[in-house]
Chain A
Amino acid sequence: MAGSPSRVIPGFSLTLGYSLFYLSALVLIPLAALVLKTTEMSFAQFWAVTTDPIVLASYQLTFTASFLAALINGVFGLIVAWALVRYQFPGGRFFDALIDFPFALPTAVAGLTYASLYLKDGWIGGLGPRLVTGVNGLAGLLGLGAPLEPTALDWLTFPFTGGTTGIVLVLVFVGLPFVVRTVQPVLIEWDPEYETAARSLGAGRFTIFRRVIFPELFPAWISGFALAFARGIGEYGSVIFIASNIPGKSQIAPLQIVTKLDDFQYAAAAAIGVVLLSISLLILLAINGVEQYARRHERAA
């Protein structure tokens, strides 16, 4: 364990002092300014700003979209981590490296490319009409006429760049690494003996996963889920490219802050900022709680 009480090693006051100075000047004092700014308002004003119908609608959109995205990541992230750790397949290492890509790619670029992909003339957005043309062309070659209406597959065209679906899709991208990267180390450390033991006792494969493997993965999985969720709540850059940003309908909560700032309503912006900050800190606390519970649980077992 590091940090023996001996002060033989020099530089304690220098490094600690510098760290505290840097941290205070760049993080703590600015954050305090945020809280101080809200004290300019009475509680009634604070309440009025933070529960304004347009603001409430933005919270709802932010939470719904982030939750759905975290859920999709929870399911697919688990499958991806599982397949990457337990199976070897061509391109496995390449796909493993791809997982970190959402961390490396600027969010503005992610929003830009997602917005254009799901437009009507984008690669994925234009899939429906192209499939119809393809199927009808094939049927025509076989002399079957055109079995599909031109609009039959329009539900496959994703004109959702204005709606919630587009926001969810880009938040799935942004939060993709969290679940995979938290679950992966647990799966790597997993001892297959447990599975063998469970099977010898007559458990089926699904029972083994549900009763033996998943409980072991659960703490990592839930903290990955919460990290992805928290990331989605704060996300701004990628979402504003893909959302239509209509007040009360498709404005996310961080955009409310920007809107208020553009209107020079500084105290109102600060109030929404405080709400968002408190929510992120609560999620962080919850993650720590889960991790500590898991650690204690592990020790007790």
Chain B
Amino acid sequence: MAGAITARAPISIGSKRAVATESVLARRVLITITVVFLTIFVLVPLINVFNQAFSKGFEGYWSVFFPPQPPDDATLTFSQKRRLAEGAAQAARTWSSIGLTVAVAAVVLPLNIIFGLAAAWATTKFNFRGRALLTALIDLPFSVSPVVAGLVFVLLLGRNGILGPWATQLVWPDPFSLHWVGFENGVWPLAFGRTHTGVIFTPLAIVLATIFVTFPFVARSLTPLMENQGTDEELAALSLGASGWRTFFKITLPNVKWALLYGVILCLARAFGEFGAVSVVSGHIDVNDTMPLRIEKLWNEYNNQAAFTVASVLAFVAVITLVAKSVVEWKAARDAERTN
């Protein structure tokens, strides 16, 4: 149920009023408990990520991504060569996990934005039977365990799945292998370099599982705001002769831009960090590792420092997410004040 609360439209919790009537002692005790609790449970674990990542110094950190290269004329013993090759292979796997994580997010995000806008438009601008049910269904993934989210796709598209006979034969091109081949073969100059067969245990399954766990974020952050804004402005634009698309792009979209960005931030954070659902459909194959799965593998190989180095990248993304979220909340609150 991650984000069941945060995915609501930005509300500002900044208007703190000093209404305390408690004794100074009680106040101090409660503040101390708050600070100690949050320090032990949030701050120390966060600092620990970076502390462990840099436990072998900056060089150790760097070598997880860029393993040391020997000079060309160096004469190396067999074991040295093997260690260098191992380091290079590990770094290549780490880079592949970063690439896959970013690629999955790049595919999932636009799909979720389109769905979020469509769902918010349908549920807030119109009244129809089953509207409440649709809204409830959009929230459903928040209450499903990530492991179950992965499981359902294995059961649907896996070898013994209901659509298994079709899905395991499916050949699909890798969109990131699209490249220029020129006009020699006809009028279409682009071609795919790679194709995949099957769905489960391929990146496509990772995309599906990630969509399952992330798609409510955009819809949820848009809905309350669009409901509040009603339909007056859109009706005015339409009555002045604007087309539906023009009304959407000139009126609705600018009105909800901060809420949309807020949903995008939450969606991205979850897409980068999803573990359970992705783990179930990845088949533990190296090429299907996203960054969280890579962290697990490194940890299980007792390569703690490398695991924490990859984790530190995700922790850094999380810090950026929080900062971006605060900025968006502040901007949204300012916009709301201005219109009032």
Total interface residues on A, CB under 8 Å, equals 109
In the complex, the answer to whether B235 meets A9 with C-beta atoms within 8 Å is yes
In the complex, the answer to whether A104 meets B322 with C-beta atoms within 8 Å is yes
Given A30-B156, A113-B311, is A261 in contact with B299 using a C-beta cutoff of 8 Å? Answer: no
Interface assignment of B295: CB less than 8 Å from any CB of chain A = yes
In the complex, the answer to whether A199 meets B21 with C-beta atoms within 8 Å is yes
Given A9-B231, A89-B31, is A237 in contact with B145 using a C-beta cutoff of 8 Å? Answer: no
Q: Which of B21, B23, B230, B325 contacts A100 (CB 8 A)?
A: B325
Main secondary structure of the interface of B (DSSP, over half): helix
B3 to chain A, nearest CB (A): 6
Q: Which of A76, A254, A266 contacts B145 (CB 8 A)?
A: A254
In the complex, the answer to whether A234 meets B19 with C-beta atoms within 8 Å is no
Chain B stretch 230-246: residues in CB contact (< 8 A) with chain A: 230-231, 234-235, 238, 244
In the complex, the answer to whether B143 meets A283 with C-beta atoms within 8 Å is yes
Give every chain A residue within 8 A of B163 (Cβ-Cβ).
Answer: 33
Interface assignment of B332: CB less than 8 Å from any CB of chain A = no
Which of A17-25, A51-59, A135-143, A146-154 is the contact stretch? A17-25
Which residue on A lies nearest to B300, using beta carbons?
A241
Chain B stretch 1-57: residues in CB contact (< 8 A) with chain A: 1-6, 11, 13, 15-23, 26-27, 30-31, 33-35, 37-38, 40-46, 48-49, 51-52
Interface assignment of A202: CB less than 8 Å from any CB of chain B = no
In the complex, the answer to whether A181 meets B6 with C-beta atoms within 8 Å is yes
Query: In the complex, what distance in Å separates the CA atom of A266 from the CA atom of B158?
Result: 10
Interface assignment of A65: CB less than 8 Å from any CB of chain B = no
Which residue on A lies nearest to B50, using beta carbons?
A113
In the complex, the answer to whether A277 meets B238 with C-beta atoms within 8 Å is no
Which residue on A lies nearest to B292, using beta carbons?
A108
Interface assignment of A109: CB less than 8 Å from any CB of chain B = yes
Given A96-B13, A182-B5, A231-B1, is A109 in contact with B311 using a C-beta cutoff of 8 Å? Answer: yes
Interface assignment of A295: CB less than 8 Å from any CB of chain B = no
Interface assignment of A301: CB less than 8 Å from any CB of chain B = no
A299 to chain B, nearest CB (A): 19
B280 to chain A, nearest CB (A): 6
In the complex, the answer to whether B46 meets A113 with C-beta atoms within 8 Å is yes
Interface residues on B, range: 35 or more
In the complex, the answer to whether A241 meets B148 with C-beta atoms within 8 Å is no
Interface assignment of B269: CB less than 8 Å from any CB of chain A = yes
Given A23-B138, A84-B34, is A231 in contact with B147 using a C-beta cutoff of 8 Å? Answer: no
Chain A stretch 92-125: residues in CB contact (< 8 A) with chain B: 92, 95-110, 112-117, 122-124
Interface assignment of B308: CB less than 8 Å from any CB of chain A = yes
Interface assignment of B127: CB less than 8 Å from any CB of chain A = yes
Interface assignment of A156: CB less than 8 Å from any CB of chain B = no
Given A33-B155, A280-B144, A284-B143, is A86 in contact with B125 using a C-beta cutoff of 8 Å? Answer: no
Which residue on B lies nearest to A109, using beta carbons?
B311
Among A33, A96, A281, the one with the most B-chain Cβ atoms within 10 Å of its Cβ is: A33
Chain A stretch 162-216: residues in CB contact (< 8 A) with chain B: 169, 172-173, 176-178, 181-182, 184-185, 188, 190, 192, 195-196, 199, 205
Interface assignment of A227: CB less than 8 Å from any CB of chain B = yes
Give every chain B residue within 8 A of A10 (Cβ-Cβ).
Answer: 238, 244
Interface assignment of A48: CB less than 8 Å from any CB of chain B = no
Interface assignment of A49: CB less than 8 Å from any CB of chain B = no
Interface assignment of B326: CB less than 8 Å from any CB of chain A = yes
Give every chain B residue within 8 A of A9 (Cβ-Cβ).
Answer: 125-126, 231, 234-235, 238, 244
Give every chain B residue within 8 A of A110 (Cβ-Cβ).
Answer: 45
Interface assignment of A270: CB less than 8 Å from any CB of chain B = yes
Interface assignment of B276: CB less than 8 Å from any CB of chain A = yes
In the complex, the answer to whether B311 meets A270 with C-beta atoms within 8 Å is no
In the complex, the answer to whether B35 meets A95 with C-beta atoms within 8 Å is yes
Interface assignment of A26: CB less than 8 Å from any CB of chain B = yes
Interface assignment of B258: CB less than 8 Å from any CB of chain A = no
Give every chain A residue within 8 A of B33 (Cβ-Cβ).
Answer: 76, 79-80, 83
Which residue on B lies nearest to A36, using beta carbons?
B162
B125 to chain A, nearest CB (A): 5
Could you tell me which B residues sit within 8 Å of A by CB distance?
A: 1-6, 11, 13, 15-23, 26-27, 30-31, 33-35, 37-38, 40-46, 48-49, 51-52, 111, 114-115, 117-119, 121-128, 131, 134, 137-138, 140-141, 143-148, 151-156, 158, 160-163, 208, 211-212, 215, 226-231, 234-235, 238, 244, 248, 266, 269, 272-276, 279-280, 291-293, 295-296, 299, 304, 307-308, 311, 314-315, 318-319, 321-322, 325-326
Additional A-B contacts beyond A80-B37, A277-B144 (18; CB < 8 A): A3-B123, A4-B231, A9-B235, A14-B118, A22-B215, A31-B152, A76-B37, A86-B16, A98-B38, A98-B43, A105-B314, A114-B45, A173-B45, A178-B5, A258-B280, A261-B280, A273-B147, A281-B143
15 contacts between A and B (CB under 8 A): A3-B127, A4-B231, A7-B126, A15-B121, A23-B134, A26-B208, A26-B212, A31-B152, A37-B162, A108-B273, A188-B17, A234-B147, A237-B276, A255-B147, A281-B143
Could you tell me which A residues sit within 8 Å of B by CB distance?
A: 1-5, 7-12, 14-16, 18-20, 22-23, 26-31, 33-34, 36-37, 76, 79-80, 82-89, 91-92, 95-110, 112-117, 122-124, 169, 172-173, 176-178, 181-182, 184-185, 188, 190, 192, 195-196, 199, 205, 227, 230-231, 233-237, 240-241, 254-255, 257-258, 261, 266, 269-270, 273, 276-277, 280-281, 283-284
